[in-house]
Amino acid sequence: VGNIHRGGVIASIVGTLSVIEPDDARRLKGFLVNNFRGDPELFSEGRRFLERRAGIPCLGVVPHFPGASRLPAEDAMALDDAGEAGSGGLRIAVPRLSRMANFDDLDPLRLEPEISLRIVQPGEPLPGDADLVILPGSKSTIADLAFFRDQGWDIDLKAHARRGGAVLGICGGYQMLGRRIHDPEGLEGPAGSVDGLGLLDVETVLLPDKTTRRTLASHCLTGTPLKAYEIHLGRTEGPDCARPFATIRDRPEGARSADGRIQGTYLHGAFESDAFRRAFLASMGVRAFGPSHATRVEETIDALARHLESHVNLRRILDLATEPKLP
C-alpha cells in the first residue's frame, strides 16, 4: 500500500520491489494507492506505469476519506500536522512529547464541538489562554520530562497553574507532575532520581513489573463511572493520593491537589466513556456535547467500509487470500 498524500508513491512502490529479495517479491500479488486527493482517473497513466514496472496489478486507487480524522491515529506521525482541532470555547493544550504514547486518549475530546484542542509542537510555548493542559502518556517518563524542560514548558505550565488553569496528567504525565521520580533499577537509563514538576505532592518509584489491566472506576469529583485500562511501570504515592482521581473497587487511584485543579491518573481511555467525558467537561463549563464516541467511531468505520468497497477490488483480494500458500 502506497500513500500518495505525502508524495513519491511511484518511487516508493517501484523502489520497494527493487530492493526486496526475489523469494519475497514473488509473494506480492498487487498494490494499492491510498489517500488520493482529486479524481482518481487523473492517476490512470500513473497506475498503468506502476503495473508495467511492478509486474503486478493495481487493486485500487483509494480517494482521500475525510472521516478518517474521526478514527484513532495509526501512529504518532499523525501528530506532526495535528495543529488545532475544533473552535469551541474550552481551550485544551497538549504538549507534543518526544516519546508520547497512547495519544488516542485525546480523540474523544478532539471531536467534541465545544472543545478547541491544540497539540503544541516542540519549540512552541504552551498557550497562555489554555483552560486545561493535558500531559499525555510517555514511553520514557524521565527522558520526556527532560525534553519537557528543554522546551521551557515547565515554566509555562507553572505559570498556567498560578493563573488558576487546570492540569491533567495521564500515566507518564501524572508521574511528571509529582515531586520526584525514582528509578532505582535503571529501567529508563542510569539508576537514580530526578525532580518532577512539583505540581502534585506525590513521588513515583519505577518498578520492573508492568501493570496491565482493564479497569472499571468511578471519578471522584463528578461521581461518574468510566471504563479504562492501565499500562505502566511504577507506583505513585504521597499526600495528594489521599484525594484520588478515581476509585477502583473502593481502592483509590491517582491524585488531586487540594484545590482540585491539578489531577493525575494512570487510567488510559477514560474519555471514551461518554458519561465521564461529559461530566468532566461540564465541570469546566462546557454545556453542549457531541454524540456517543463509540457510536461515532462505529458509524465512521461503516462509512470507511463502503468507501473501500467502491474503490478497491475486494473480490480479487479475497481470492488471493484463498490461494494455496507458496512454499
Catalytic residue among 219, 232, 268, 293: 268
The pLDDT, as a whole number, for residue 321 is: 85
**pLDDT band at 77; cut points 50, 70, 90:** low
Cβ-count burial 242-281 (b if 16+ within 10 Å, e if not) = ebbbbebeeeebbbbbeeebbbbbbbbbbbbbbebbbbbb
Report the mean per-residue pLDDT for the chain. Answer: 91
The pLDDT, as a whole number, for residue 288 is: 84
**pLDDT band at 75; cut points 50, 70, 90:** low
The pLDDT, as a whole number, for residue 250 is: 82
Q: Say yes or no to pLDDT of 72 above 70.
A: yes
Domain boundaries, the chain: 2-66+300-322, 72-289
Burial of 22 (0-12, 13-18, 19+ CB in 10 A): exposed
Q: What is the arithmetic mean of pLDDT over 2-9?
A: 84
Q: What is the arithmetic mean of pLDDT over 144-161?
A: 98
Residue 220 annotated as catalytic: no
Q: What is the arithmetic mean of pLDDT over 277-294?
A: 91
- Phi first, then psi: give them for residue 106, nearest 5 degrees: -85, -20
The pLDDT, as a whole number, for residue 18 is: 87
The pLDDT, as a whole number, for residue 86 is: 54
Those residues whose C-beta lies under 8 Å from the C-beta of residue 237, and which sit 6 or more positions away, are 202, 203
The pLDDT, as a whole number, for residue 82 is: 54
The pLDDT, as a whole number, for residue 287 is: 87
The pLDDT, as a whole number, for residue 234 is: 93
Task: State how far Cα 24 lies from the chain centre.
Answer: 33
The pLDDT, as a whole number, for residue 70 is: 79
Q: How far apart are CA 233 and CA 185, in angstroms?
A: 12
Q: What is the arithmetic mean of pLDDT over 136-157?
A: 97
Instruction: Give the DSSP letter string of 91-103.
Output: EEEEE--TTEE-G
The 10s digit of each residue's pLDDT in 12-41 is: 988 988 898 988 888 888 989 999 988 888
CB of 82 closer than 8 Å to CB of 55: no
**pLDDT band at 160; cut points 50, 70, 90:** very high
Lowest mean pLDDT among 6-15, 126-135, 302-311: 6-15
Catalytic residue among 58, 160, 171, 220: 171
Q: Say yes or no to pLDDT of 74 above 70.
A: no
Type of residue found at 73: A
Residue 268 annotated as catalytic: yes
CATH of the domain spanning 72-289: 3.40.50.880
- Find which of 7-16, 188-197, 284-293 is predicted with most confidence, using mean pLDDT: 188-197
